[in-house]
Amino acid sequence: MATTYLDHQATTPCDPAVVAAMAPYWSELFANPSSGSHRPGLEAAAAVDLARCSLARHLGVAPQQVVFTSGATEANNLAIKGLVEARRQRGRHLLTLATEHRAVLEPLRYLAGHGFELTVLPVQPDGLVDLNRFSEALRDDTLLVSVMSANNEIGVLQPLAAIGALCRERGIALHSDGAQVFGHQAIHPGELGIDLFSLSGHKLYGPKGIGALVIAPGISPAPQQHGGGQEGGLRGGTLPVPLIVGLQRAAELASHDWEERQQRLGGLRDRLLAGLLELGGVQLNGSLKHRLAHNLNIQVEGVDGNQLHRALRRQLAVSGGSACSSGSPSHVLAALGLSPAKAAASIRFGLGRPTTAAEIDLAVLVVAAALNELRG
């Protein structure tokens, strides 16, 4: 029996057009873009430059602001540790939210173990930060704030424009992990007051192993990966030309259909939620209003979480949280006030470009059958 894939926030399938765009750069146009002494190297460098310029246009920034990385995790580390290392004389205080991805929380905790003071703000039951509480938490010595654009588990969209304004008026650098939002909504980091913006290719139907950090003018993080001086000295290492071309092509395709896609997936998400609520004992996790259109996260009453997910995976590819959590209880759902048992009995549905109404209806039937079995 085929498995219905509804875990597009963990990763997306690489679009065939993206695969086609990358194909020549594996074995035909394979040269090192740093080899400027011959034509093949210059052709590879030109492909990188074109991709960088195209991505910059989508983001509303200058090309030199786009630094390629291996993904959002590396971009987060370069942003957080690099900014703090470069500006350590300006302050010792760091601020983030309890619902951040571990690729943000762990670098911050690393810095907290090396002499910096970290404040991890709680969120409200709907997953949104209280802006008054956020403002009160800012200090004269706050060096960096990191707040993700869209949550990877509950899809909640934080009020970045308001957060950016509060940081800007205090002269505090703002970083945002945008892996879940880029390619799904139009976003211009500079207009939101974001100084450092991380993104990843495999969340928007591009290849794994490629991402970028967008750096505002006047921000100069210290490099965290030293080598041959690539990427303006910020990220040493031979550039993966096929992956960079794939990231650019994925972003281009996403810019063409994101409005239609989000409208369609939002309708399918609402259809899924309505069907699940009819089963009884189902509650939504996180705000519905301030949320990615392709995300749904619910908790189910009266069942054991492990048994629930074992029953579902016979036919559905869904998750109980982040793909990076290695099966540990969701810290995001705990931050919303859920007990470990309720968090374990929660399901994240990540809808995607291939998702159909028939798959949504099937998902409701599969969950219904699992609940009937587990509730006896």
Whichever domain contains 124, its CATH number is 3.40.640.10
Indicate whether 168 and 192 sit together in one domain: yes
Q: Which of 322, 350, 317 is nearest to 334 (CA)?
A: 322
Q: How many domains does the chain have?
A: 2
> Do residue 84 and residue 154 come from a single domain?
yes
For residue 99, pLDDT over 90 is answered with: yes
Judgement on whether residues 245 and 299 belong to the same structural domain of the protein: no
Instruction: State how far the Cα of 293 lies from the Cα of 134, in Å rounded to an integer.
Output: 26
User: Which of 253, 275, 290 lies at the terminal end of a domain, its last residue?
Assistant: 253
Q: Could you say which of 209, 231, 253 is where a domain stops?
A: 253
Pairing of strands 173-177, 316-317: unpaired
Do 196 and 286 share a structural domain?
A: no
pLDDT at position 329 is 79
Q: Which residues are catalytic?
A: 324
Question: Among residues 355, 204, 181, 367, which one has the least CA distance to residue 269?
Answer: 355
Domain shared by 275 and 238, yes or no:
no
Identify the band that residue 328 occupies on the pLDDT scale cut at 50, 70 and 90.
confident
Range with the lowest mean pLDDT among 203-207, 304-308, 356-360, 372-376?
A: 372-376
Same domain, 126 and 112: yes
Per-position DSSP letters for 301-332, written without gaps between them: TTS-HHHHHHHHTTTEE-BSS-TTSTTPPPHH
| Cβ partners under 8 Å of residue 217, min gap 6 | 62, 65
pLDDT of 353 reads 97
Q: Please indicate, yes or no, whether residues 155 and 217 belong to a single structural domain of this protein.
A: yes
CATH number at residue 278: 3.90.1150.10
Residues 53, 110 within the same domain: yes
Shared domain for 179 and 303, answered yes or no, is no
The domain boundary residue, chosen from 234, 253, 272: 253
- Residues 346, 273, single domain; the answer is yes
The pLDDT of 311-335, averaged and rounded, is 83
Please indicate, yes or no, whether residues 297 and 183 belong to a single structural domain of this protein: no
What average pLDDT does this structure show over 350-363? 98
pTM of the model: 0.96
Q: Give the domain extent around 279.
A: 4-12+257-374
Q: Are residues 183 and 205 in the same domain?
A: yes
What's the rounded Cα separation, in Å, for the pair 84 and 73?
Answer: 16
pLDDT tens sequence across 31-68: 999 999 999 999 999 999 999 999 999 999 999 999 99
